[in-house]
C-alpha cells in the first residue's frame, strides 16, 4: 500500500519535471540566440581591450608576468 502511493508520487514528480524541462528547453531556444550573441559581443570586447592593452603596455605586461 505504502509502496504504491510512493510510486504514484514519484510518477507525478517525474511528469512535472519532464513538462517543466520541455518549457525550459523552449525558453532556452528562444534566449540562446540572444545570449550567445551577447556573449560573443562581450568576449569580442574583452578580446579587443586585452589586445589593445597588450599593444599599449607590451613589455610592461611581460615584466609584471615574470614578477
What residue spans define the domains of the chain? 2-66
Vertex 66 angle, CA 64 and 67, to 5° = 65
The pLDDT, as a whole number, for residue 17 is 64
Distance (Å, rounded) from C-alpha 52 to C-alpha 12?
56
Residue, of 34 and 21, whose pLDDT is higher: 34
22-55 pLDDT tens trace = 777 777 777 777 877 888 888 778 777 776 665 5
Q: How confident is the model at residue 67 (pLDDT cuts 50, 70, 90)?
A: very low
Which residues contact residue 61 at a Cβ distance below 8 angstroms, ignoring those fewer than 6 apart? 53, 54
The counts of H helices and E strands in the chain are: 2, 0
The answer to whether residue 1 scores a pLDDT higher than 60 is no
Amino acid at each position: 500500500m505504502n509502496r504504491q502511493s510512493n510510486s504514484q508520487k514519484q510518477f507525478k514528480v517525474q511528469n512535472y519535471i519532464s513538462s517543466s524541462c520541455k518549457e525550459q528547453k523552449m525558453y532556452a531556444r528562444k534566449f540562446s540566440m540572444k545570449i550567445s550573441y551577447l556573449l560573443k559581443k562581450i568576449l569580442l570586447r574583452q578580446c579587443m581591450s586585452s589586445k589593445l592593452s597588450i599593444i599599449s603596455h607590451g613589455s610592461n605586461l611581460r615584466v609584471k608576468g615574470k614578477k
